[in-house]
Amino acid sequence: MTAVLTAVGVGPGDPDLITLKAARRIEDADVIAYFSGTHGTSIARRIAAPLFGDDVIEELLPYPVTTGAVTDYYSVIENFYDDAAERILRHLEAGRSVVVLAAGDPLFFGSWMYLHERLEGRFPIEVVPGVTSISGSTAALADMPGFHGLTFHEDVLTVLPGTLPVPELAWRLAHTDAAAIMKLGRTWPSVKEALRQAGLLDRTHVIERATWNEQSVHRAAEVDEVPYFSIAIVTGRDRRADDAGRAAAAGSVAPSRTDSAIGTVHVVGLGPAGDTWLTPDAASVLASVSAVYGYAPYVAKVPPRPGLALNPSGNTVEVDRARDALEAALGGVDVAVVSGGDAGVFGMAAAVFEAAEDERFVDVEVQVHPGVTAAQAVAARAGAPLGADFAVMSLSDRLKPWDVIVNRLVHISRADLVLAIYNPRSRSRPHQLGEALEVLRTERSPETVVVVGRHIGRAEESLEVTTLGELDPESIDMGCCLIIGASSTRIGPHGVWTPRFVRP
């Protein structure tokens, strides 16, 4: 009989997840081949070894390298697969049936695929599918509070390799409902950044060694390092309630008008949260445009409707996003570029004007529609701390040097201005708020009133009134906006306020 080559998926780690068909093929094999890292230890073999026959021939296929650190990585790997295919072929030509083991499923990010393309047509090939690592990881989330499934109804699931560049990974994450991210380990810092930019970090769990005895589950926001055998799972949005208009509203490319007119770019501030603080002007614009561009969490606030193309993207591609919107307007489409709060305050308005300096966009009209700012919302909740002269600053040093920030903090303090602080502290900038407070404390009294507003306007909002001396920077995150009072700012019976007058 002609020897048969069979690729067998043995599942993600638990031997009990090997299918009955896979078990039969393993037990009947003359030769069992399996890949391993440079150390020679094979996960697939560990899973399937109890099923090996006593007289089976084992063929270890160890990778010579496992990362692209060497300059000739691709030529080394291609030569390795050529050699591995020849070794398998010699067994088949001798009449021995060969099983090649694959962790998970052979055709899902599996090394088997590179043998398949080299050996197809030379001997009969059978592929026995296996339980994927995604299925194992999803099952590991079953006992997590609030988790009922990966995807519902029309949720779109995207499977992504963590080796993608951050901007592309963030863009793809922003355009899906649920996601599984593979190939972690050394890529985790960039994957975590892409999740943050896409606004999905809080919806993501990392499952290490799914279905193994050593399995563990972590919230993605809480881990800084993960092993290679990990998967990040972004749970779906569960859109069952809004599927009626979704098909017509879906799309990543704005529809083009049939005439040759140039469209308008509307830069829209959505306010700090919800429809309550969305201005009628902004609502009118969103109801009339054909496409919306913005950071994914802000685009998600725009209700889908037939004919509206939603174009979410990551958090650090502002000028690229603005350029895409301007290009759409050149094609005759009226578009909205959205920001949280006010688009002109640390928002998309400046990015649109920056991109619009390109002479290609000279004829595109740009209109800015203001929104309620985070500082205004926090001030309103607290009372009237912005009742006199005030300054507004962002502590992010992504677009300006830290020494510039420090210099401005010093002079604002010496001018005795109320100071609203945006972007006070993030996971990538955990120490800067503490350094900023040290600067402020050298210039102002420790009794200076401080207001901390977190997620104002949302269900989880909180407001704290403290002092400059008592403020703990570790309690602050990117969901906060701070208001540092002037020397005259006080706490009255109705809240925090700053007098309009300055006594001589």
pLDDT at 203: 87
Decide if 166 contacts 186 (C-beta within 8 A): no
Rounded CA gap, 188 and 231, in Å? Answer: 10
Q: Which two three-digit tokens encode residue 73?
A: 């990585």
C-alpha–C-alpha distance, residues 110 and 36, integer Å: 12
pLDDT band at 238 (very low <50, low <70, confident <90, very high): low
- CB-based contact 178:153 (threshold 8 Å): no
Instruction: Report whether pLDDT(80) > 80.
Output: yes
SS3 16: helix
Residue-level pLDDT at 316: 73
For the stretch 388-421, pLDDT in tens is 999 999 998 888 999 999 999 999 999 999 999 9
Q: What pLDDT does 244 receive?
A: 41
* CATH, range 375-497: 3.30.950.10
Q: Pairing state of beta strands 418-422 and 480-484? A: antiparallel
> Domain 135-238 falls in which CATH fold?
3.30.950
| Residue 178 host element (H or E) | strand 178-182
Higher pLDDT, 393 or 459: 393
pLDDT of residue 313: 83
* β-pairing verdict for 204-208 and 230-234: antiparallel
* pLDDT number for residue 247: 40
By DSSP bridging, strand 230-234 and strand 178-182 are: antiparallel
Confidence of residue 481 (pLDDT cuts 50, 70, 90): very high
| Amino acid at residue number 439 | V
Residue 129 has pLDDT above 60, yes or no: yes
Contacts of 473 (CB under 8 A, 6+ apart): 425, 433, 434, 437
pLDDT for 153: 78
Task: Give the per-residue pLDDT at 68.
Answer: 55
Residues pairing with 295 in the sheet: 313
Q: Which pLDDT tens digit goes with each residue over 276-294?
A: 888 989 998 998 999 999 9
The secondary structure of 238-259 as a DSSP string is --GGGGGGHHHH--SSPPPPSS
pLDDT digits (tens, 9 = 90+) for 312-336: 887 778 899 999 999 999 999 999 9
Weakest-pLDDT range from 105-119, 167-181, 317-331: 167-181
- Most confident of the ranges 65-74, 168-177, 428-437: 428-437
pLDDT computed for residue 239 by the predictor: 60
What is the per-residue pLDDT across 332-353, written as a single tens digit (0 to 9) for each?
Answer: 999 999 999 999 999 999 999 9
* 8 A C-beta contact, residue 151 and residue 178: yes
Domain boundaries, the chain: 5-131, 135-238, 245-369, 375-497
Band (245; pLDDT cuts 50, 70, 90):
very low
User: pLDDT, tens digit, for every residue of 254-268?
Assistant: 444 434 589 999 999
Confidence check: pLDDT of 243 > 50: no
72 pLDDT tier (thresholds 50, 70, 90): confident
> Which pTM value belongs to this model?
0.60
Show the CA angle centred on residue 73, arms to residues 72 and 77, nearest 5°. 120
User: Do the first three CATH levels of 135-238 and 245-369 match, i.e. the same topology?
Assistant: no
Predicted local confidence at residue 248, as pLDDT: 38
Does domain 5-131 fall under CATH 3.30.70.2740? My reply is no
Q: How confident is the model at residue 2 (pLDDT cuts 50, 70, 90)?
A: confident
Positive or negative CA dihedral for 140, 144, 147, 148?
positive
Average pLDDT over residues 144-170: 85
- CATH says 245-369 is which class? alpha beta
